[in-house]
Amino acid sequence: MADAGGVAGDRLRSFVERIERLEEEKREVQDQMKDVFAEAKGEGFDVKVMRQVIRLRRLRPNDRSELEELLDLYKSALGMA
Amino acid sequence: MADAGGVAGDRLRSFVERIERLEEEKREVQDQMKDVFAEAKGEGFDVKVMRQVIRLRRLRPNDRSELEELLDLYKSALGMA
Amino acid sequence: MADAGGVAGDRLRSFVERIERLEEEKREVQDQMKDVFAEAKGEGFDVKVMRQVIRLRRLRPNDRSELEELLDLYKSALGMA
Amino acid sequence: MADAGGVAGDRLRSFVERIERLEEEKREVQDQMKDVFAEAKGEGFDVKVMRQVIRLRRLRPNDRSELEELLDLYKSALGMA
DNA sequence: CTGCCATTTTACCGGC
DNA sequence: GCCGGTAAAATGGCAG
């Protein structure tokens, strides 16, 4: 790898190009998401609110039992586990 | 600002040094926090759990009415606001 | 809540599900990127530096040299040359 | 829950409050840093580049040149010289 | 020394 | 078109 133009250089280029290809794919997906939001907005939905709804849906499974966890947490912290 | 060693350079140095001073202060506060956690740990409390408790306390004021907000959100998203 | 506003509820759900599907795709691409970086790391490349290079490549050549010059300028002003 | 475990509860509360106080201090310092960056920006400095320079200054000189050399190496390998 | 979690930084998106 | 805030990514630090 000390030789910038040697074999290692080819490996590096290969990795970098793979990453760049994936970045491109990712960007496409993001564009599609943007399109969906734009379409929704065009039908009168509030994009910001939609994002929040989606975020909350993502969270929901975890903190479903958040209250119980909190109780356990306190008990644990107080050495009552 | 084109002249690296000129007046602008002095301004830059001044800003950078102010930031570095503040970083130092911040590091001190962080160290104190570390000490508190260490002390708590020494008394048998679980640091990780304490962190979670503190984080939850920070969140509490916000999502106190999270459910209501969610409802409002849906209504808003559905144009029933 | 499944049909809070009748038809609009269905539309909302549809949009949300499309977004969630795209988010899933995005996550997969991200995982692949992670794999590539891991593989590069396994061959001795410095992932952090790789990221930096990739970020630079993203910039238009003009912006890139501008940025690099600015960095050099700031370094000079601070005696880090 | 005020004294879930008697004495231990008081200790816990005490620790938590100390941490919260320190968090408040930390937040203030962070705000001041924000102000400094904003001021610099107002005078035409590039905040992002400033951050980069500050990060470099944090590194021991040895590590710094090592890092910079590696970056140059990678750039060469990718024809970005 | 590796993986995880917290913090910090970067990039994005919507509003003005 | 810029700016501010917000979410994603990346770096760094800690624990095991």
pLDDT, one tens digit per residue, over C14-70 is 999 999 999 999 999 999 999 999 999 999 999 999 999 999 999 988 889 999 999
The whole-angstrom distance between A80's CA and the closest CA on chain C is 40
The whole-angstrom distance between B27's CA and the closest CA on chain A is 27
Place B63 in a pLDDT band, splitting at 50, 70 and 90.
low
Give the model confidence (pLDDT) of A27-73 as tens digits.
999 999 999 999 999 998 889 889 988 888 887 665 556 666 667 77
Mean pLDDT of chain B: 82
How many beta-carbon pairs below 8 A join chains C and D? Answer: 32
Return d(Cα B41, Cα B47) in angstroms, integer: 6
Q: Specify the pLDDT at position B39.
A: 94
**Statement: the CB of D58 is under 7 Å from strand E:** no
Q: Specify the pLDDT at position A7.
A: 60
Mean pLDDT of chain D: 89
CA-nearest of D63, D32, D61, D36 to D47 is D36
Question: Is residue A58 within 8 Å of C19, Cβ to Cβ?
Answer: no
Q: Specify the pLDDT at position D5.
A: 54
User: Best of C13, C17, C22 to disrupt the A interface by mutation (most A CBs within 10 Å)?
Assistant: C22
CA dihedral A26, A30, A35, A40 (to 10 degrees): 140
List the A51 CA – F6 C1' distance (angstroms).
Answer: 11
Contact B78 C5 (CB under 8 A): yes
Give the model confidence (pLDDT) of D33-49 as tens digits.
999 999 999 999 999 99
Q: Does A45 touch chain B (CB under 8 A)?
A: yes
Predicted structure pTM score? 0.87
| Closest chain D CA to residue A15 | D78
CA atoms within 13 A on the CB side of A4: 13
Contact A73 B79 (CB under 8 A): no
Other CB atoms within 10 Å distance of the CB of residue D57: 15
C18 contacts in A (CB within 8 Å)? 36
Q: Does B43 touch chain D (CB under 8 A)?
A: yes
pLDDT at C78 over 60: yes
What's the token pair of residue D71? 């970056």
Give the total residue count for chain B: 81
Q: Specify the pLDDT at position B49.
A: 86
Give the model confidence (pLDDT) of B31-50 as tens digits.
999 999 999 999 888 898 88
Place D2 in a pLDDT band, splitting at 50, 70 and 90.
very low
Q: Specify the pLDDT at position B1.
A: 46
Higher pLDDT, C9 or A4: C9
Place A22 in a pLDDT band, splitting at 50, 70 and 90.
very high
The whole-angstrom distance between B39's CA and the closest CA on chain C is 35
B73 contacts in A (CB within 8 Å)? 49, 52-53, 56
CA-nearest of B39, B33, B42, B57 to D1 is B57
Q: Does B31 touch chain A (CB under 8 A)?
A: no
Looking at residues D53-71, what average pLDDT do you find? Answer: 93
| Closest chain C CA to residue B16 | C78
Higher pLDDT, D57 or D3: D57
Looking at residues D28-32, what average pLDDT do you find? Answer: 94
B12 contacts in D (CB within 8 Å)? 40, 45, 50
Give the bases of strand E that a protein CB approaches within 7 Å. 5-6, 8-15
Place D1 in a pLDDT band, splitting at 50, 70 and 90.
very low
List the B31 CA – F14 C1' distance (angstroms).
Answer: 13
Q: Does A71 touch chain B (CB under 8 A)?
A: no
The radius of gyration of chain C's CA atoms, rounded to the nearest angstrom, is 22
Return d(Cα C76, Cα D66) in angstroms, integer: 18
pLDDT at C11 over 60: yes
Q: Specify the pLDDT at position B3.
A: 54
Q: Does A19 touch chain C (CB under 8 A)?
A: yes
Other CB atoms within 10 Å distance of the CB of residue C58: 11
Return d(Cα A31, Cα A69) in angstroms, integer: 38
DSSP string for residues in chain D: -TTTTTHHHHHHHHHHHHHHHHHHHHHHHHHHHHHHHHHHHHTT--HHHHHHHHHHHHS-HHHHHHHHHHHHHHHHHTT--
